[in-house]
Amino acid sequence: MIRGMRGAITVTSNSEEEIISATEELMKELIEGNNILPEQVASVFISTTEDLNAAFPARALRKFPGWTYVPVMCMRELPVPNALPMCIRIMMHVNTSVTQEEIIHVYLEGAAVLRPDLGNTLA
């Protein structure tokens, strides 16, 4: 069964280094928290808010061994008024037998405010 695993992190500046570093940190937490192997991943969608355009955050995934062939797509988050700024979000589609309730969703830094209702986050 394919399950969605979500995460988000905020950054403090629109710089290539910070976008890549934050995305790498978020992916690491999602991978480790859910014991994900690259061959289990069907796809990864990464969105950024409009204020982040210095780098493609998907480049961070290429730093992980074995993730070369995992399909990744970057996109823009909807520019909703008063939404959390400087935010990178990830939706990973993973083949797993884990139930939805057992999935670890990860919200780091300022993004912890996005889903306080999820009791199984690492943040």
The answer to whether residue 122 scores a pLDDT higher than 70 is no
The answer to whether residue 108 scores a pLDDT higher than 70 is yes
**Separation in Å, CA 8 to CA 1, 30, 88, 97:** 23, 10, 5, 23
Annotation says 89 is catalytic: yes
Its domain, for residue 105, covers 2-113
Structural domain count, the chain: 1
Residue 4 pairs in a beta bridge with 93
89: left (phi over 0), alpha (psi -120 to 50) or beta: beta
Which member of 18, 25, 59, 115 is catalytic? 115
Mean pLDDT for 89-95 is 97
Residue 118 falls within a domain, yes or no? no
Residue 119 falls within a domain, yes or no? no
Which member of 24, 29, 87, 89 is catalytic? 89
Q: What whole-number percentage of the chain has pLDDT above 90?
A: 89
The answer to whether residue 123 scores a pLDDT higher than 70 is no
Question: Residue type for 81, please?
Answer: P
Residue 107 falls within a domain, yes or no? yes
The residue written with tokens 């940190």 in the block is 25
Annotation says 115 is catalytic: yes
The answer to whether residue 120 scores a pLDDT higher than 60 is no
Annotation says 77 is catalytic: yes
Distance CA 89, CA 45 (A): 8
Residue 121 falls within a domain, yes or no? no
pTM for the whole structure: 0.93
Structure tokens of 116?
């306080």
Which member of 17, 50, 62, 102 is catalytic? 62
Mean pLDDT, the chain, as a whole number? Answer: 93
Residue 120 falls within a domain, yes or no? no
Instruction: Find the CATH number of the domain harbouring 72.
Output: 3.30.1330.40
Decide: 77 and 47 in contact? Cβ < 8 Å. Answer: yes
The number of CA neighbours under 13 Å toward the Cβ of 2 is 8
Residue 67 falls within a domain, yes or no? yes
- pLDDT, one tens digit per residue, over 13-22 is 999 999 999 9
Decide: 64 and 44 in contact? Cβ < 8 Å. Answer: no
Annotation says 18 is catalytic: no
Annotation says 107 is catalytic: yes
Annotation says 76 is catalytic: no
Decide: 119 and 16 in contact? Cβ < 8 Å. Answer: no
Residue 91 falls within a domain, yes or no? yes
Residue 123 falls within a domain, yes or no? no
